[in-house]
């Protein structure tokens, strides 16, 4: 492995530590979480839910860690920004992921690209679980911001995430129930 290629890859991923999540910024959250903060907790949720459901937790965690990596190049876009030009966004995201992975050895690059594609297409149970984990993490973060005094009206849009997996929905509903308590 080319150490410089690995250094470049890790440095690019490190930009996610300084990239605030756009939806929280738009909602007026002071000092919002970074994309890296979000990805870490998505990976942890995916690990636990995959193990609980007898799925391949390594595949799930790999997808969770890679799912927002392209944002190191594209920036963090909200769903409405992505929906404004889905084809353009898709091409930009593909190009960004290729650029980020190009410094890695071909075998690893292929594995990571396949995992990212699997997530993007929601083509497996693990990918669908990670997509649920992504949304569940957002709901949990909204609950935490609200608990810290965030404007409930501005955070409401994050509470309506469509989660398909039964266990992830149960956790989302429990988070909602807890947030209603004084």
φ and ψ of 34, to 5 deg? -90, 170
* 3-180 to CATH, choices 1.20.1250.20, 3.40.30.10, 3.20.20.140, 1.10.3210.10: 1.10.3210.10
pTM of the shown model: 0.93
Quickly tell me which residue has 């709901």 as its tokens. Answer: 139
Contact 34, 24 (CB under 8 A): no
CA-based angle 138:143:145, to the nearest 5? 95
Do the beta carbons of residue 56 and residue 125 sit within 8 Å? Answer: no
Q: Where are the domains of the chain?
A: 3-180
Round to whole Å and give the CA distance between 149 and 64: 29
CA 131 to chain centre: 8
Mean pLDDT by 10 residues, the chain (182 residues): 91 97 94 97 98 98 97 88 81 94 93 96 97 96 93 87 90 88 62
């Amino acid at each position: 492995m080319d150490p410089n290629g690995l250094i470049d890859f890790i440095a690019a991923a490190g930009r996610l530590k300084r990239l605030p999540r756009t939806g929280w910024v738009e909602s007026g959250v002071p000092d919002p979480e970074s994309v890296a903060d979000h990805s870490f907790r998505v990976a942890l949720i995916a690990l636990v839910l995959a193990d609980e459901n007898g799925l391949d937790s390594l595949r799930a965690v790999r997808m969770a860690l890679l799912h927002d990596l392209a944002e190191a190049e594209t920036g963090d876009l909200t769903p409405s920004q992505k929906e404004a030009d889905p084809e353009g966004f898709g091409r930009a995201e593909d190009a960004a992921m290729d650029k980020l992975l190009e410094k890695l050895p071909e075998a690893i690059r292929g594995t990571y690209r396949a995992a990212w594609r699997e997530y993007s297409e929601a083509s497996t149970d693990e990918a669908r679980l990670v997509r649920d984990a992504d949304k569940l993490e957002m709901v949990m973060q909204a609950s935490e911001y609200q608990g810290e005094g965030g404007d409930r009206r501005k955070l409401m849009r994050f509470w309506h995430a469509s989660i398909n997996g039964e266990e992830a929905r149960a956790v989302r509903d429990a988070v909602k129930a807890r947030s209603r308590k004084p």
